[in-house]
């Protein structure tokens, strides 16, 4: 059967097939990560529930061979990761929560009572962080909206627009309805396209998504970002990073390039933090 795992809001489509197996030797619950399971996908039947990835390991995963050994070492490394452990301990849906926590601790971009829009919100870890800070259940003016293509398990105090394409006009209309005339203080995006494996192509595609978020926040007012508002978006680094930074500087007073500690050393991801929207 074709194997299409769901992982941290992205879909991976391995070329190979693997036979169905009813024999399960071991299972683990694995908090959502920010890395591809493309290499190990053929071995696992992945199920997504309540923000947790459950991996069922078939018997044949434990057979001898370089690929099986590498797969198990990979899982062991991910399971023992410092930020994955913290995410499990504090009930965050993904280790990426610690990226936003670190950025906010340094730059203080999110405060109680704010209106925040999270684009690419699945599985919901950033919305968990935002809800803890903004406290929508205590502040009448506070409001959180999360948008994603994937389904998202509800979080208290957060309004989700899931199964929604951020590039679609229908999504824009639904966002306006939910915001209901509110101005937005902060727009955050940990969104990323399905990786192709080609760094140049992936760089262009994620910049295109960031450009969409920028346009919706600054030009089209689908996300009506206030003057002095903040935009935080993820990119995969590449040759056009500086060009996009210059584009951000046309609408924001200051732009920072941030690499949180929770981002893996080998990862090409960096975050562009644009503060003090000019108009």
- Mean pLDDT throughout 80-102? 90
Q: Which of 47-56, 198-207, 255-264 comes out lowest in average pLDDT?
A: 47-56
Return the domain boundaries, the chain.
Answer: 94-277
pTM: 0.75
Among 12, 98, 93, smallest CA distance to 53 is for: 93
Percentage with pLDDT > 90 across the chain: 64
Predicted confidence at residue 12, as pLDDT, reads 30
pLDDT > 80? residue 130: yes
pLDDT > 60? residue 52: no
**170 is written with which tokens?**
């229908």
pLDDT > 70? residue 140: yes
Predicted confidence at residue 68, as pLDDT, reads 62
Are the C-beta atoms of 17 and 2 separated by less than 8 Å? yes
- Mean pLDDT throughout 196-210? 96
pLDDT > 90? residue 82: no
Which class is domain 94-277? alpha beta
* 60 vs 249: which has the higher pLDDT: 249
Predicted confidence at residue 41, as pLDDT, reads 34
d(CA 225, CA 230): 8
Q: Is 140 exposed, middle or buried (0-12, 13-18, 19+ CB in 10 A)?
A: exposed
Q: Is 54 exposed, middle or buried (0-12, 13-18, 19+ CB in 10 A)?
A: middle
Using CA atoms, how far residue 144 sits from 36, 148, 156, 211, 272, in Å, is: 28, 14, 10, 22, 21
* 30 vs 202: which has the higher pLDDT: 202
255 Cβ neighbours under 8 A, 6+ residues apart: 245, 248, 249, 272, 273, 274, 275
Q: Which of 70-79, 94-103, 178-187, 228-237 comes out lowest in average pLDDT?
A: 70-79
- Mean pLDDT throughout 49-73? 51
* Mean of the per-residue pLDDT values of the chain: 80
- Mean pLDDT throughout 159-175? 97
d(CA 239, CA 242): 7
Which positions are catalytic? 234
Q: DSSP letter for 194, please.
A: P
């Amino acid at each position: 059967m074709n194997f299409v795992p769901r992982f941290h809001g992205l879909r991976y489509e391995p070329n190979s097939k693997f036979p169905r197996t009813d024999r399960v030797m071991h299972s683990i619950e694995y908090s959502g990560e920010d890395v591809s399971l493309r290499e190990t996908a053929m071995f696992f039947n992945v199920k997504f529930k309540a923000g947790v990835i459950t991996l069922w390991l078939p018997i044949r995963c434990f057979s001898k061979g370089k690929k099986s050994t590498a797969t198990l070492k990979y899982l062991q490394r991910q399971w023992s990761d410092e930020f994955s452990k913290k995410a499990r301990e504090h009930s965050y849906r993904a280790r990426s929560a610690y990226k936003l926590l670190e950025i906010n601790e340094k730059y203080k971009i999110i405060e109680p009572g704010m209106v925040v829009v999270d684009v690419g919100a699945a599985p919901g870890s950033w919305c968990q962080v935002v809800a803890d800070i903004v406290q929508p259940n205590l502040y009448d003016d506070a409001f959180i909206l999360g948008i994603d293509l994937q389904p998202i398990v509800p979080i208290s105090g957060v309004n989700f627009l899931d199964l929604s394409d951020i590039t679609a006009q229908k999504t824009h209309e639904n966002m306006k309805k939910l915001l209901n005339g509110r101005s937005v203080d902060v727009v955050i995006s940990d969104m990323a396209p399905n990786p192709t494996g080609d760094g140049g192509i992936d760089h262009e595609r994620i910049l295109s998504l960031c450009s969409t978020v920028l346009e919706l926040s600054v030009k089209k007012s689908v996300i009506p970002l206030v003057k002095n508002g903040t935009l935080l978006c993820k990119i995969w680094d590449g040759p056009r990073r500086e060009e996009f930074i210059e584009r951000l500087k046309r609408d924001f007073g200051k732009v920072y390039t941030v690499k949180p500690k929770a981002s893996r050393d080998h990862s090409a991801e960096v975050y562009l933090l644009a503060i003090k929207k000019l108009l």
